[in-house]
Chains A and B, each alone.
Chain A
Amino acid sequence: MKRSEQEKELSRRTIGRRGLVIGGLQLAFAGTLLWRLREMQLNQSEEFRLLAEENRINLRLLPPVRGLILDRNGVLLAGNEQNYRVVIKRDDVGDIDLVLGRLAQLIPLTEDDIERTRRDMLRNRPFVPVTVAERLSWEEISRVAANAPALPGVTPEMGLSRLYPLRQDTAHVVGYVGPVSERDLEALETPDPVLMIPRFQIGKSGVERMAEDRLRGRAGSQRVEVNSVGRVMRELDRVEGTPGANVHLTIDAKLQNYALERLHGQSAAAVVVDVTNGDILALASGPSFDPNMFVRGISTTNFNELLNNDYRPLVNKTVQGMYPPGSTFKMVTGLAALEDGVTDGQETVFCPGHMDVSGNRFHCWKRGGHGRVGLVSALAESCDVYFYEMAQRCGIDKINAMSTRLGLGIRYDLPITSVAGGLNPTREWKRNNRNAEWRIGDTVNASIGQGFVLSTPLQLAVLTARLATNRAVLPRLVRDPLERSDRELASLDLRPEWLRMIRQGMNQTVNDRRGTAYSSRVVADGQTMAGKTGTSQVFSITRAEREAGIRRQEDLPWNRRNHALFVSYAPYDNPRYAVSVVVEHGGGGSSAATPIGRDIMLAALNDASPPLSAYPAPQRNRIEFEQREMEQRLRRPEDMRISRA
């Protein structure tokens, strides 16, 4: 079929026209593309550039080095140890089982470790290093490094982790660190970004927790370039952080160690306070625990063991434990009576062994009675009836006022967790808490530190320090190493003649043949100790029990026995230290707590090694034996690392 010229021309014109239409439409669309390109690349270029940078640049925090905690002589209580660990990257490892098998021949690895490592590796992205083992020794890490060619993907690494070189010695004071928990983060309004660093640890208890802000320091940062799956390509720049500040405690690590070891085998607490400035030299709560367990992640078994132990190792009994002070409270009652003017101290009271108050009979600890006693002999022989009488004369309000003045019932502001305030019971307190009116019997009970009165061992040490100095001694745990002069302590303004009688009573308690602590006297010159024993009942003795004859303490189950207490200060004529000891359910004060108090006092006075000559001659054989036995347990001086910082 031959096409006509006319038809050909029509075809050509149609195609030409329509072709131009199509070309026009395409040009219009291309214009749109160009406009869009210009819009994005010229007008919004800055925003897109910013987004691209955000994609690419990752800010990483560099954890700061935690500050050290040191004792008063610079002995390291909490430090940072080099932590050698081995990490592995799936990216480079090749045959996982083969490499882990080889690794297990070089370093101790359990089946669990291997299983966990394999799981972590598969769960994470291939370039994320997974920790295989931590806290390896230098030898172990060297073996891994030496065999590097056979261990593809395995890298030995070094980090810092918290270490408490004195282990259980200062566990209750220094506390421990642990990983940041959800609760920690919720408690803070604007959490420090450093807390988000994986495996970052913060103070969980004790000074570690309370001085967290000082110890933590400030994080540095590092800008790195990452790719789309987050792998770091290179470091762009880095800002170093500020390491945490060191904290200097008033604790004397050597004395602390001695005190804790002296409490060995008991559920007990001992406090040593420097009476001249309130420095707490020892704050021992036994039994203790190894805080390093918490840093490494304590096992449930170990934790339950600590939790279910009858002796409550996790509780800091020195500031947290509240005990009826018993006879150690009698100085308070005595001073209250003197200040109120209801007695001059010389006046004597007859003790028949009991006293009837509004139909109830209150007994003295000595069934036969003490006969006529004045304030000094009442303290020395710990006569209860004398103080029943004085308390009734001056009343509970006066006793409470004196108690507060002497440092009881006050919550001290110390940088350790769970500091308890004790209890000076008032009429109002009883109304609110016991829903009953105050009765005279309550006053009588309070006069000898029973009933509702509760004190902590630290408070009893402060009480003793205040009696010894007539100053408002305030306990102090942290000292600024730059602070040169000691702070001036306010006077308590108690009349010297009153205190003279009280101190004399305490002196006779220890040094008079009739005193309740005579067997624990110190014979060394210039180290004479004054003190007061106490025995506080945990359960009141029922009439039936009393009629059946008081059972011997040793026959009672442990947790029903009396608490044993002893407070003391020395030297008598120029007081330096105050010591308080509480032995939970230790039985009688003079037998359980007093020797401990004396030994710790002698340790404080003699650089943690009590000289045999300070003990009365007949006791020296036994003491020498005890000392030798204890030396086995004491930490050696070379174990106490002095930090250069």
Chain B
Amino acid sequence: MSYLEYNTKQMPSGLRKVLYLNWPLIFLLIMVASYGFVMLYSVAGGSLTPWADPQIKRFGIGLLVMFVVAFTPLWFWRSIAGIGYIVALLLLLGVEFFGTVGMGAKRWLLIGPFRLQPSELAKITTILALAAYYDWLGVKKVSHPLWVLVGALIALLPTLLVLRQPDLGTAMLIAAGGGVVIFAAGVHWAYFAALFGTIGGLVTAVMQSRGTEWQLLKDYQFRRIDSFLDPTLDPLGAGYHINQSMIALGSGGWSGRGFMEGTQARLNFLPEKHTDFIFTTLAEEFGFVGASSLLLLYMMILAVCLLTAIRTTNRFGALLVMGVIGNFFLYFAVNMAMVMGLAPVVGVPLPLVSYGGSAMIVLMVGFGLVHSAQIHRARLPS
């Protein structure tokens, strides 16, 4: 689909675009971000510094970025999808060779005064590339094995490069965004069944081989898997944090211990309380009411986006929105599951709430694309 295809008469232009923005989405985003501001104020002991104030500013910048992305015509995003993808891949390779090391992983590239985290960029470009690819491919050829292989490779290349850094959390998000686009594009169920079947089979085989003569991993590797799956086996390491997180969360009760009254957070029993464990602090201080309402807001964001995807006649735009949905959902679901002790400890922050700049901007770019798809969808002439 080229830009010639767009019927400019059916599209809003200029300032009229503002009317076609996804206003419920904007409202929900501000709500969620406000949860973040309140919690960052609380964990700083009732202070705007060092977290709440920069976070508010970043969210403001994020909103601006979102509007810019939203008002940019969709065809522009489609036309740069391929280049963007390749640039992101090159940057990831750059990290591989020239990256700087921090927190035990190589994630950043220093370009002049800027510290770039290409894996964040790859989240968006992978979705863009896959959406463009399936738009180009058309709906009939998607299940052909060769074309499936191409789509899978587009998703896997950045995933594997990020996994090597190692950054399991971001790799999962990239894979999830890509996977959802491939699934939504209409690739046959059988491929997914085969994929999950193979993964399940492999895992079963590896775990079953334990203790036998032909076991597939070394004993210490099995022990690492054990403590990854059940942090309580490692009570002084990761298990300590999860345990403290569950105590904090559970002690919140129905209505919480009160704003800035959470003992676990205030007395530093919670680690990383402004980033990965901010949901725990929320649940401790505002209880079930606070925690479940945030979950509800997240689900509403997903619902609003899903509605946009379904109503868009533009295949590229719809697939793009689905990718953002897949990415965003896994983002908060993994974080919440982790702090509740349902999932292993993976360093994934809570989207829009946790303190963090680049992740926030990338998320807002994603939602900007959702707006763009909403604004620039082909509307039937009235």
CB interface residues, B 270-314, toward A, < 8 Å:
283, 287-288, 291-292, 295, 298-299, 302-303, 306, 309-310, 313
Q: Which residues of B contact A225 (CB under 8 A)?
A: 263, 267
Which of A7, A16, A47, A227 meets B310, CB within 8 Å?
A16
Q: Closest residue of chain B to A6, judged by CB?
A: B139
Q: Which residues of B contact A48 (CB under 8 A)?
A: 246-251
Which of B250, B302, B319 meets A44, CB within 8 Å?
B250
B186 in contact (CB, < 8 A): yes
The answer to whether A37 and B292 touch across the interface, beta carbons within 8 angstroms, is yes
A23 in contact (CB, < 8 A): yes
A642 in contact (CB, < 8 A): no
**Binding-face segment, A27-35, A105-113, A293-301, A525-533:** A27-35
Q: Which residues of B contact A51 (CB under 8 A)?
A: 247, 250-251
A228 in contact (CB, < 8 A): yes
Per the bound structure, the CA–CA distance linking A56 and B266 in Å amounts to: 10
The answer to whether B283 and A41 touch across the interface, beta carbons within 8 angstroms, is yes
The answer to whether A12 and B313 touch across the interface, beta carbons within 8 angstroms, is yes
Q: Closest residue of chain A to B180, judged by CB?
A: A22
The answer to whether A18 and B184 touch across the interface, beta carbons within 8 angstroms, is yes
Q: Closest residue of chain A to B326, judged by CB?
A: A22
Q: Closest residue of chain B to A225, judged by CB?
A: B267
Per the bound structure, the CA–CA distance linking A226 and B186 in Å amounts to: 57
The answer to whether B268 and A37 touch across the interface, beta carbons within 8 angstroms, is no
A436 in contact (CB, < 8 A): no
B337 in contact (CB, < 8 A): yes
Q: Closest residue of chain A to B342, judged by CB?
A: A36
Q: Which residues of B contact A30 (CB under 8 A)?
A: 295, 298-299, 333
Q: How many residues of B contact A (CB 8 A)?
A: 52
Which of B247, B250, B306 meets A19, CB within 8 Å?
B306
The answer to whether B310 and A15 touch across the interface, beta carbons within 8 angstroms, is yes
The answer to whether B250 and A49 touch across the interface, beta carbons within 8 angstroms, is yes
Per the bound structure, the CA–CA distance linking A384 and B287 in Å amounts to: 98
Interface centre among A14, A41, A44 (most CB of B within 10 A): A41
B166 in contact (CB, < 8 A): no
- Binary contact readout B203-242 vs A (1 if CB under 8 angstroms, 0 otherwise): 0000000000000000000000000000000000000000
Q: Closest residue of chain A to B269, judged by CB?
A: A228
The answer to whether B254 and A45 touch across the interface, beta carbons within 8 angstroms, is yes
Query: What is the count of residue pairs linking A and B with beta-carbon distances less than 8 angstroms?
Result: 156
- Report if A33-B340 is in contact (Cβ < 8 Å); known contacts: A27-B299, A41-B253: yes
Q: Which residues of A contact B139 (CB under 8 A)?
A: 7, 10-11, 14
Q: Closest residue of chain A to B378, judged by CB?
A: A8
Q: Which residues of B contact A18 (CB under 8 A)?
A: 183-184, 186, 322
The answer to whether B340 and A3 touch across the interface, beta carbons within 8 angstroms, is no
Interface centre among A15, A22, A30, A34 (most CB of B within 10 A): A15
- Binary contact readout B121-143 vs A (1 if CB under 8 angstroms, 0 otherwise): 00000000000000000111000
Q: Which residues of A contact B80 (CB under 8 A)?
A: none
Quote the shortest CB–CB distance from A488 to chain B (angstroms): 65
B20 in contact (CB, < 8 A): no
Which of B1, B303, B319 meets A23, CB within 8 Å?
B303
Q: Closest residue of chain A to B340, judged by CB?
A: A36
Per the bound structure, the CA–CA distance linking A11 and B299 in Å amounts to: 25
- Report if A40-B340 is in contact (Cβ < 8 Å); known contacts: A3-B138, A22-B183: yes
A434 in contact (CB, < 8 A): no
A548 in contact (CB, < 8 A): no
Q: Which residues of B contact A37 (CB under 8 A)?
A: 249, 283, 288, 291-292, 295, 340
The answer to whether B268 and A228 touch across the interface, beta carbons within 8 angstroms, is yes
Q: Which residues of A contact B252 (CB under 8 A)?
A: 41, 45
Per the bound structure, the CA–CA distance linking A15 and B337 in Å amounts to: 28
Per the bound structure, the CA–CA distance linking A34 and B139 in Å amounts to: 37
The answer to whether A41 and B319 touch across the interface, beta carbons within 8 angstroms, is no
B81 in contact (CB, < 8 A): no
Interface centre among B5, B247, B326, B337 (most CB of A within 10 A): B247
The answer to whether A41 and B291 touch across the interface, beta carbons within 8 angstroms, is yes
B336 in contact (CB, < 8 A): yes
A42 in contact (CB, < 8 A): yes
Which of B247, B251, B329, B337 meets A26, CB within 8 Å?
B329
Secondary structure class of chain B's binding surface, majority of residues: helix
Which of B185, B248, B254, B333 meets A52, CB within 8 Å?
B248
Q: Which residues of B contact A227 (CB under 8 A)?
A: 267-269
Per the bound structure, the CA–CA distance linking A629 and B350 in Å amounts to: 89
Quote the shortest CB–CB distance from A7 to chain B (angstroms): 6
B315 in contact (CB, < 8 A): yes
Q: Closest residue of chain A to B268, judged by CB?
A: A228
- Report if A33-B295 is in contact (Cβ < 8 Å); known contacts: A7-B140, A19-B184, A26-B329: yes
Quote the shortest CB–CB distance from B41 to chain A (angstroms): 20
Q: Which residues of B contact A52 (CB under 8 A)?
A: 247-248, 251, 263-264, 269
A541 in contact (CB, < 8 A): no
- Binary contact readout B183-194 vs A (1 if CB under 8 angstroms, 0 otherwise): 111100000000
Q: Which residues of B contact A11 (CB under 8 A)?
A: 139, 186, 315, 318
The answer to whether B333 and A23 touch across the interface, beta carbons within 8 angstroms, is no
Per the bound structure, the CA–CA distance linking A361 and B270 in Å amounts to: 92
Per the bound structure, the CA–CA distance linking A227 and B244 in Å amounts to: 13
Q: Closest residue of chain B to A56, judged by CB?
A: B263
Quote the shortest CB–CB distance from B331 to chain A (angstroms): 12
B39 in contact (CB, < 8 A): no
The answer to whether A22 and B322 touch across the interface, beta carbons within 8 angstroms, is yes
- Binary contact readout A537-565 vs B (1 if CB under 8 angstroms, 0 otherwise): 00000000000000000000000000000
Quote the shortest CB–CB distance from A21 to chain B (angstroms): 8
A147 in contact (CB, < 8 A): no
A55 in contact (CB, < 8 A): yes
A38 in contact (CB, < 8 A): yes
Quote the shortest CB–CB distance from A82 to chain B (angstroms): 35
Quote the shortest CB–CB distance from A135 to chain B (angstroms): 36
Per the bound structure, the CA–CA distance linking A56 and B5 in Å amounts to: 65
B52 in contact (CB, < 8 A): no
The answer to whether A226 and B322 touch across the interface, beta carbons within 8 angstroms, is no
A645 in contact (CB, < 8 A): no
B171 in contact (CB, < 8 A): no
Per the bound structure, the CA–CA distance linking A14 and B333 in Å amounts to: 25
Q: Which residues of B contact A19 (CB under 8 A)?
A: 184, 306, 309-310, 318, 322, 325
The answer to whether A40 and B250 touch across the interface, beta carbons within 8 angstroms, is yes
Q: Which residues of B contact A34 (CB under 8 A)?
A: 292, 295
Per the bound structure, the CA–CA distance linking A404 and B295 in Å amounts to: 90
The answer to whether A22 and B325 touch across the interface, beta carbons within 8 angstroms, is yes
The answer to whether A15 and B322 touch across the interface, beta carbons within 8 angstroms, is yes
Per the bound structure, the CA–CA distance linking A37 and B315 in Å amounts to: 37
Q: Closest residue of chain B to A16, judged by CB?
A: B310
- Report if A23-B302 is in contact (Cβ < 8 Å); known contacts: A42-B254, A49-B250: yes
Q: Which residues of A contact B180 (CB under 8 A)?
A: 22
Q: Which residues of A contact B315 (CB under 8 A)?
A: 8, 11-12, 15
Q: Which residues of A contact B268 (CB under 8 A)?
A: 227-229
Quote the shortest CB–CB distance from A396 to chain B (angstroms): 72
Quote the shortest CB–CB distance from B207 to chain A (angstroms): 23
- Report if A228-B337 is in contact (Cβ < 8 Å); known contacts: A15-B310, A30-B295, A55-B247: no
Q: Closest residue of chain B to A52, judged by CB?
A: B251
The answer to whether A55 and B333 touch across the interface, beta carbons within 8 angstroms, is no
Quote the shortest CB–CB distance from B85 to chain A (angstroms): 21
Interface centre among B139, B254, B264, B298 (most CB of A within 10 A): B139
A644 in contact (CB, < 8 A): no
Which of A3, A12, A27, A56 meets B267, CB within 8 Å?
A56
A2 in contact (CB, < 8 A): yes
Q: Which residues of A contact B303 (CB under 8 A)?
A: 23
9 other A-B residue contacts (CB within 8 Å) besides A22-B326, A30-B299: A8-B313, A18-B183, A23-B303, A37-B295, A41-B250, A41-B252, A45-B253, A51-B250, A228-B244
Q: Which 6 pairs from chain A and chain B are nearest by CB?
A: A48-B250, A227-B267, A14-B186, A52-B251, A45-B253, A228-B268
A-B contact pairs, 16 of them (CB 8 A): A7-B140, A12-B318, A20-B306, A21-B183, A22-B180, A26-B299, A26-B302, A29-B333, A33-B337, A36-B340, A37-B283, A41-B249, A45-B251, A49-B250, A49-B253, A228-B244
